[in-house]
Amino acid sequence: MSRIALFPGSFDPITLGHVDIIERAVPLFDEIKIAVGTNSAKSYLFPQEQRVQWIEQTFAHEPKISVITYEGLTVDFAKDQGVQFLLRGLRNPADFEFEKAIAQANREMIPDLETVFLLTSARYAYISSSIVREVYNHGGDFQKFVPATVQP
Ligand code: ADP
């Protein structure tokens, strides 16, 4: 049976930190589905279509990777997609505490869906989509923190 991971997130926009996690996950799985979520309680800077396109362009050379969109509970979507693993990145203790609670709640709901965490590489650990949005909104050099495909 092939090992399929779902990497859910907002990717508003995709950053070099996300790219690092995804590239390091490629050898671990047969397939990685990057799932761009829409949450009605959240507002996004970049439209979903654009967030998806930037990820597709970033990984155009990697046949194991596909990009999909979803709404609603990540675990429900993971079940619909038939994946066995959820992939998440950890940057710092705050991420750990947050992700731990989500992963434990998810396990209560779907016990056979395993969450796999990769620790971010130190050089990208400070990068977040929210910092990129802040720099972009103020006309700063956000390109340092994102793959070259991100061209708003
Ligand atoms: P969410 O809205 O779910 O937080 P994000 O797009 O911000 O979505 O993040 C998706 C995943 O990527 C999360 O697991 C997050 O911890 C991880 N991530 C975000 N930025 C980085 C980074 N700089 N290095 C490693 N992982 C990261």
Residue 91 annotated in active site:
yes
Q: 2: which 2 tokens?
A: 């092939």
Pocket mutation for ligand 1, best pick of 42, 120, 126 (most atoms within 8 Å of C-beta): 120
Whether the predicted pLDDT of 40 surpasses 90: no
CA 63 to centroid of ligand 1, rounded, Å: 22
Give the mean pLDDT of 49-70: 98
Residue 107 annotated in active site:
no
Whether the predicted pLDDT of 35 surpasses 90: yes
Residue 125 CA: which ligand 1 atom is closest? Answer: 23
Residue 10 CA: which ligand 1 atom is closest? Answer: 6
pTM above 0.85, yes or no: yes
Residue 100 annotated in active site:
no
Residue found by looking up tokens 């979803």 in the block: 70
| C-alpha pair distances (Å), 125 with each of 15, 74, 103, 128, 145 | 11, 24, 21, 8, 11
CATH 3.90.180.10 fits 4-145, yes or no: no
Cα maximum dimension of the chain? 48
- Burial label, 69 (beta-carbon count in 10 A; 0-12, 13-18, 19+): middle
Residue 42 annotated in active site:
yes
Question: What is the C-alpha separation between 18 and 146, in angstroms, rounded?
Answer: 9
End-to-end C-alpha distance for the chain, whole angstroms: 39
pLDDT of residue 41: 84
Question: Residue 19: which residues within 8 A CB-CB, separation 6 or more?
Answer: 58, 147
CA 30 and chain centroid, separation: 17
CB burial string 43-59: b at 16+ within 10 A, e below: ebbbebebbbbbbebbb
Question: What is the C-alpha separation between 3 and 31, in angstroms, rounded?
Answer: 7
- The band of 42, judged by pLDDT with boundaries at 50, 70 and 90, is confident
Q: Strand pairing partners for 87?
A: 116
Q: Mean pLDDT across the chain, nearest whole number?
A: 96
Catalytic residue among 10, 51, 88, 129: 129
